[in-house]
Chain A
Amino acid sequence: MAGPGNSRGFQGVFTPLRYWLLLPSWLVVGFFMVAPVLIMLVYSFLTKEFRGGVIWEFTLAAYDQFFLDRGLFGDEPPKIEWTYIGIFWRSVWQAGLATVLCLLIGFPTAYYIATRPPATRNIWVFLVTIPYWVNLLIRTVSMKFLIRDNGPINEWLLSAGLIAEPIHLINTPVAVQLGLFYSYLPFMVLPIYAAIERFDFSLCEAAADLYAGRWFALWHIIIPNVRPGIVAGCILVFIPSLGAFLAPDLLGGAKNFMIGSLIEEQFKGTAGNWPFGAAASMILLSVVLVVLFFNARNRATQTSGAGH
């Protein structure tokens, strides 16, 4: 933010040493993050073996299967296959909705926490993260237990006379949405909290001094300044929601399949189709990359204007 080249640290000083010190990171990132993706990329172009696994023979069959319908015996003229695109679209839609819900609930939560006295903030952050010390699978199963037709929530509502019949949630898209929202809410709260905590509230005083109301200050002073936190939160919720499989599997059932479940199926037991799973993963990855690319470009244009 201050001088030129500030963000680059000590660049130019101790350069050879710098490369050596960075080497472990490069190895870890290269080996454990890039290599698996490359393996997936290669597998998606291989021929499937019937008991799981692959045969080393190049084919586009997996992508063909994802996008095109050639009839039951594969001899009809190709039409677009809507099944998987439908699942995909449902995933994007569910993940997008989860992101919006998390933002709507997460922003006020983060704002509230960040504006508490410093001593109590950590307690609030701790409270927000407590459930996340429990495994995601167990949390999702608990959620299923809570919202099922004869679960505690329905029983309570029934006995209180608020509803006549249990609200049916299990195996509906609503249940999947609840699961996603609940699973990823902290990923929204924490980055926004961090951004608001760093925000200089004397800017709001300056805005009020210059006749701005509270809502105007929120929209035009606070939000533009904490936007990086909001964007980070949205990415951190959207991307794992897109690939989620526990919530759709356990809460949504077969009709509410999401892309994550589809991929998971392909690698489970002997019934799967590895190349198809790999191809679906690559398609999912491309969507994610497009999202990240637009974010990066957006940020680049913003900061080149702001100059920091």
Chain B
Amino acid sequence: MNQTAIDIAGVTKFYGSGPDAVRALHDIHFQIQHNEFFTLLGPSGCGKTTLLRIIGGFEDISEGTLRLFGEDIQNLPPNRRPVNTVFQHYALFPHMSIRDNVGFGLKMQGRPPEEIRRRSDQMLELVRLSEYAGRRPSQLSGGQKQRVALARALAPEPKVLLLDEPLSALDLKLRQSMRHELKQIREELGITFIFVTHDQEEALIMSDRIAVMSHGALQQVGTPEEIYNHPLNRFVADFIGETNLVEVQVREISDSGATVAFAGHTLACSVNENQAHEPGEIAHMSIRPEHIGITPGEEKGDALRATVLRKIFLGTDIHVACSLPTGEELVARVQSTAAGVAALSPGDGVTLDIDPHRIVLLGD
């Protein structure tokens, strides 16, 4: 079961050659297990599509190797790879009906006409477009086209499905139900999904594992929990979810974690594996807003005191931005029903309480 579907080792990609060459990917390494929902996450232009196109066979690799179920597929043309793609810009065939679009891959596989018809209709039902089977792509909305592209790529039952932002053109409701649907489809059909998105929420909800990319380089690979709770560096901490990134000075390093100096206080925090820090070094720390508690009124003693700057109402939660006496700004996220929070107004003094198990010292 735990078979490696895709093995990417040291992949580097240059577009163009000579002095004008653009490096789109730099030394990418990871493995994707069979049946995994694997997400490539990163900001626009970080190389997600490029990596997907390399797996699909539309771009060659400048350096490195690509293996599919143990087989080196670098020299296999796209039509001989058991991999299908949902293209970012759909690429539906404009001169064919929706049904023929969906049946195209099946036809190419030489399946009998009745089966093609049956399976195309089944796929259209899956993406809820049955009544559009006879139309042309130009007669569909962007979201409908995206669903046709999905049905077309799923129909031939590929071993690996590549999805390039397949939900980006859908409205919120449809997107939510398609997220659910996609997960279900994958579980039913037993296909490895490589899913590209720049929406971190989508990545967290859907993925078994996430690869965070930036500027063509891999930043971190891990489960949504790992990525969220133990970001390796500033980029990941900042890109995934909301966080307070603060500068601290490392005091002591121990097996279980570290102590750091922050805003005149000493805080305990956890340190990621394989991450070296020296006492005295200036480093960055990530504190998630939901891991900061607020008590109205300034307590005496060692507590972290702050002044409320502004309050933003988010529904069940409230964002409270506070400034520390040393000038740093921290944002806390607390439930709007928490005691005394509703009554806070800018200028009020508060006491902050940071959960030490949840703070992470970051690499660069």
Tell me whether A and B are bound partners. Answer: yes
Check A306–B95 contact: CB distance below 8 A. yes
A211, A213, A305: the one contacting B105 at CB < 8 Å is A211
Q: Is B293 an interface residue (CB 8 A)?
A: no
List the A residue with the shortest CB-CB distance to B82.
Answer: A211
Q: Closest CB-CB distance, A195 to chain B, in whole Å?
A: 13
Interface membership of B183, Cβ < 8 A: no
* A202-221 interface code vs B (CB 8 A; 1 in, 0 out): 11011111111100100001
Minimal Cβ-Cβ distance residue in A for B94 = A225
Interface residues of B in 83-110 (CB under 8 A from A): 83-85, 87, 89, 91-95, 104-105, 108-109
Least CB distance from B111 to A in Å reads 11
Q: Interface readout for A174-206 with B: 1 if CB under 8 Å, 0 if not?
A: 000000000000000000000000001011011
CB <8 Å contact, A213 and B79: yes
Tell me, in angstroms, the Cα distance from A306 to B137 when the chains sit together: 9
Determine whether the beta carbon of B138 is less than 8 Å from that of A205. Answer: no
Chain A residues contacting B234 (CB-CB under 8 Å) are none
Q: Are B95 and A209 in contact (CB under 8 A)?
A: no
A211-B105, A307-B139 known; A205-B156 Cβ under 8 A? no
Closest Cβ–Cβ distance, residue A52 to chain B (whole Å): 53
| A211, closest chain B residue (CB) | B108
Max chain A Cβ within 10 angstroms of own Cβ: one of B77, B84, B104, B152: B104
- Contact A306–B93 (Cβ < 8 Å): no
A27 at the interface (CB under 8 A from B): no
The reply to whether the CB of B313 lies closer than 8 angstroms to some CB of chain A is no
A211 to B153: give the CA distance in the assembly, Å: 11
Could you count the A-B residue pairs with CB atoms below 8 Å apart for me: how many are there? 72
CA distance A77 to B49 in the complex (A): 80
Q: A207-B104, A210-B105 are in contact. Are A1 and B138 (CB under 8 A)?
A: yes
Residues in A whose Cβ lies below 8 Å from that of B56: 205, 209
Does chain A have a CB within 8 A of B215?
no
Q: Counting CB contacts under 8 A, is B297 at the interface?
A: no
Question: Which among A2, A221, A306 has the highest number of chain B CB atoms within 10 Å?
Answer: A306
Residue of A nearest to B110 (CB): A211
- Which A residues between 1 and 46 are near B, CB-CB below 8 angstroms? 1-2
B138 touches A2 (CB 8 A): yes
B79 to chain A: closest CB distance in Å? 5
Given A202-B89, A209-B78, A210-B152, does the pair A225, B139 have CB atoms closer than 8 Å? no
CB distance from B48 to the nearest CB of A (A): 16
**A308 an interface residue at 8 Å Cβ cutoff?**
yes
Query: Contacting B108 at CB < 8 Å: which of A2, A216, A224, A225?
Result: A216
Complex CA–CA separation, A237 to B5 (angstroms):
54
Docked CA distance A224–B95 (Å): 7
Q: Which residues of A contact B83 (CB under 8 A)?
A: 209
Judging by beta carbons under 8 Å apart, are A225 and B91 in contact?
no
A205 to B78, Cβ gap below 8 A? yes
Given B84, B95, B153, which contacts A225 in the complex, CB threshold below 8 Å?
Answer: B95
CB-CB under 8 A from B153, the residues of chain A are: 209-210
Quick check: B136 and A307 within 8 Å, CB to CB? yes
Q: Is the CB of A210 within 8 A of B138?
A: no
* B79, B80, B83, B139: most-surrounded residue (chain A CB, <10 A): B79
| Least CB distance, B175 to chain A, in whole angstroms | 23
* Interface membership of B30, Cβ < 8 A: no
Task: Report A-chain residues with C-beta under 8 Å of the C-beta of B77.
Answer: 208
Report yes or no: B136 in contact with A306, Cβ–Cβ below 8 A.
yes
Inter-chain contacts of B85 with A (CB < 8 A)? 206, 209
Q: Which of A2, A211, A213, A225 is within 8 Å of B156, CB to CB?
A: A211
> Quick check: A210 and B95 within 8 Å, CB to CB?
no
| Shortest Cβ distance from B88 into A: residue | A202
A209 to B85, CA, bound (A): 7
Whole-angstrom distance from the CB of B177 to the nearest CB of chain A?
25
Interfacial chain A residues near B156, Cβ < 8 Å? 210-211
Given contacts A216-B108, A307-B139, contact A211 B95 (CB under 8 A): no
Supposing A203-B91, A225-B94, A225-B95 touch, asked if A208 and B136 sit within 8 A by C-beta, the answer is no
Q: B57-71: contact bitstring with A at CB < 8 Å (1 yes, 0 no)?
A: 110000000000000
Q: How far, in whole Å, are A283 and B139 apart by their CA atoms in the complex?
A: 43
- The docked-state distance in angstroms from the alpha carbon of A206 to that of B89 is 11
A49 to B324, CA, bound (A): 110
Query: Are A205's CB and B87's CB within 8 A?
Result: yes
Residue in B closest to A213 when the chains form the complex, CB atoms: B79
Alpha-carbon distance A202/B79, docked complex (angstroms): 14
**Whole-angstrom CA separation of A121 from B83 in the bound complex:** 34
- Pick from A210, A225, A308: contact of B104, CB under 8 Å: A210
Docked CA distance A211–B80 (Å)? 6
A207 to B83, CA, bound (A): 12
Contact B136 A206 (CB under 8 A): no
Whether B84 lies near A210 (C-beta < 8 A) is yes
Cα of A170 to Cα of B262 in the assembled complex, Å: 97
Residues of B within 8 A of A307 (CB): 135-136, 138-139
Q: A205-B58, A306-B136 are in contact. Are A212 and B79 (CB under 8 A)?
A: yes
Q: A200-B91, A202-B87 are in contact. Are A209 and B136 (CB under 8 A)?
A: no
Measured CA separation A216–B84 after assembly (Å): 18
Q: How distant is the Cα of A205 from the Cα of B287 in the complex, in angstroms?
A: 45
Chain B residues in 8 Å Cβ range of A225: 94-95
Nearest CB in chain A: distance from B286 CB, A: 39
**Chain A residues, Cβ within 8 Å of B105:** 210-211
Report which of A202, A211, A213, A305 forms a contact with B109, defined as CB distance below 8 A: A211
Smallest Cβ distance from B169 to chain A, in angstroms? 15
A221 and B58 within 8 A (CB) = no
A209 B84 Cβ-Cβ under 8 A = yes
**Which residues does chain A contribute within 8 Å of B84, judged by CB atoms?**
209-210
User: Which A residues fall within an 8 A CB radius of B?
Assistant: 1-2, 200, 202-203, 205-213, 216, 221, 224-225, 305-308
11 sampled A-B residue pairs with Cβ under 8 A: A202-B87, A202-B89, A208-B78, A209-B78, A209-B83, A210-B156, A211-B79, A212-B108, A305-B136, A306-B95, A307-B138
> Assuming A206-B92, A225-B95, A307-B138, what are 8 further A-B pairs, CB within 8 angstroms?
A207-B93, A210-B156, A211-B80, A212-B79, A213-B79, A306-B94, A306-B95, A306-B138
Q: Which 4 A-B pairs have the closest CB atoms?
A: A210-B105, A211-B108, A206-B91, A208-B78
